[in-house]
Amino acid sequence: MNTALNELEQLSLGVMAQVLLHTQALPLQVWRNAEQVNQALGTAARHAWVVRRWLVALGGAGLLREAGERVAWRTPPPDPQLGELPRLYGALGFPASMARLHTQVIECLPDLLRDQFTLTHLLMLGGDPVKVLSAYQHNHFTATINQALADRARQISAADGQLRVLELGGGAGGTTDAVLAALQACEKDYRFTDISSLFTGAAHRQFRLETGMQFGLLDLNRSFSGQGILPGTQDLVIAGNALHNARDLPYSLGQIRSSLRDGGALLFSESIADNPAMLTFMHLLLSPAADAPLRPHDEAFMAADAWDLALQATGFELLEVWPRACEPLAAAGQRLFHAIGV
């Protein structure tokens, strides 16, 4: 599996190089800084961070030479073999639709970066967005992390006999599915939330027959109590790959902490770094809307140490980060975090 991951990363670096060379954004033997590259490519301001991350990734892979803020090609990688995508995505446990989607996105990357149309629009053409998100979350790594999260959820005890669970950014319900299976024998009050009614509606259809379920909208960037979650009421908050949507992380972690009783648990999964494959694909969805302020920094994901500090600063103690860096599963860059409110 890790070989496929590595091949996918190399192929995606090739995709970045192809875009930069074919559009003349960074021609051979020319030195440019990131701003000049974005200008030559015609990148929309909201996506400029993506191209800056490309330059970091290409530099990190030794493909660029650096002089101050300017870069030039050392050895551009070979043209990417897009025909390999179905094999690579298959080896990572993704459904075939992911390779098809990534291929389409790669073919449109310059236009997407120029905002001639949006990735959301392209994904909509591919059909039901809930199915698209579900396919994106359907892979060996995420499934294993979801199962590990569910195993920890089973160990959490209720303050008063009924386990109160709040799920944030529940999306297509992959994390929910694993957690509900683990909590089957338990008396629970499980509130599935997301910012989008597309996802809460789909979750309602999928999970409405489970006992103790509620479904509702919740924006993790706004006051939880203003959205019906009273302070100190929850035993467990869950977020599967959702907390990177926090615009002000201390604020959102503070809201989560307030919603938990003392000793209540926060279980969440997150990527701890970006990767070339997603930088040429789904990460374009992390750009702000055209009329919103630009991202305050380019890194969309935080290292485990930074999570530890952010959790400590908002009234949590981090008990566990899994898998550890030395384990083979760690190569995918996803981690499960288990914290408790202190």
Ligand X SMILES: C[S@@+](CC[C@H](N)C(=O)[O-])C[C@H]1O[C@@H](n2cnc3c(N)ncnc32)[C@H](O)[C@@H]1O
Q: Which residues are at the interface with ligand X (CB under 6 A)?
A: 133, 137, 168-175, 194-196, 199, 218-221, 240-242, 245
Compare residues 25 and 267 and give the one whose CB is closer to ligand X: 267
Beta carbon of residue 203, minimum distance to ligand X (angstroms, whole number): 9
Q: Residue 129 Cβ, how far from ligand X at the closest point, in Å?
A: 9
Asked if residues 8 and 277 have their Cβ atoms less than 8 Å apart, the reply is yes
* Residue 5 or 220 having the CB closest to ligand X: 220
Smallest separation, CB 170 to ligand X (Å): 6
Per residue, the 3-state secondary structure of the chain, as one string, reads CHHHHHHHHHHHHHHHHHHHHHCCCCCCCCCEEHHHHHHHHCCCHHHHHHHHHHHHHHHHCCCEEEECCEEEECCCCCCCCHHHHHHHHHHCCCCHHHHHHHHHHHHCHHHHHCCCCCHHHHHHHCCCHHHHHHHHHCCHHHHHHHHHHHHHHHHCCCCCCCEEEEEECCCCCHHHHHHHHHCCCCCEEEEEEECCHHHHHHHHHHHCCCCCEEEEECCCCCCCHHHCCCCCCEEEEEEECCHHHCCCHHHHHHHHHHHEEEEEEEEEEEECCCCHHHHCCHHHHHCCCCCCCCCCCCCCCCCHHHHHHHHHHCCEEEEEEECCCCCHHHHHCEEEEEEEEC
Q: Which is nearer to ligand X, 199 or 307 (CB)?
A: 199
- For ligand X, give the closer residue by CB, 32 or 167: 167
Which residue lies nearer to ligand X by CB, 116 or 221? 221
Q: Identify which of 277, 330, 335, 336 has the alpha carbon closest to the alpha carbon of residue 1.
A: 330
Provide the token pair at 94.
């993704």
**Dihedral (CA of 253, 256, 257, 263) sign:** negative
Minimal distance, residue 157 CB to ligand X, in Å: 24
Closest contact distance (angstroms) between CB of 1 and ligand X is 20
Residue 34 or 166: the one with the smaller Cβ distance to ligand X is: 166
Which residue number, 12 or 146, has a Cβ lying nearer to ligand X?
Answer: 146
- Residue with smaller CB distance to ligand X, 31 or 207: 207
Q: Cβ–Cβ contacts within 10 Å for residue 263, how many?
A: 12
Q: Which CB sits closer to ligand X, 221 or 312?
A: 221
Closest CB 83 distance from ligand X, rounded Å: 28
The CB-of-71 to ligand X minimum distance in angstroms stands at 31
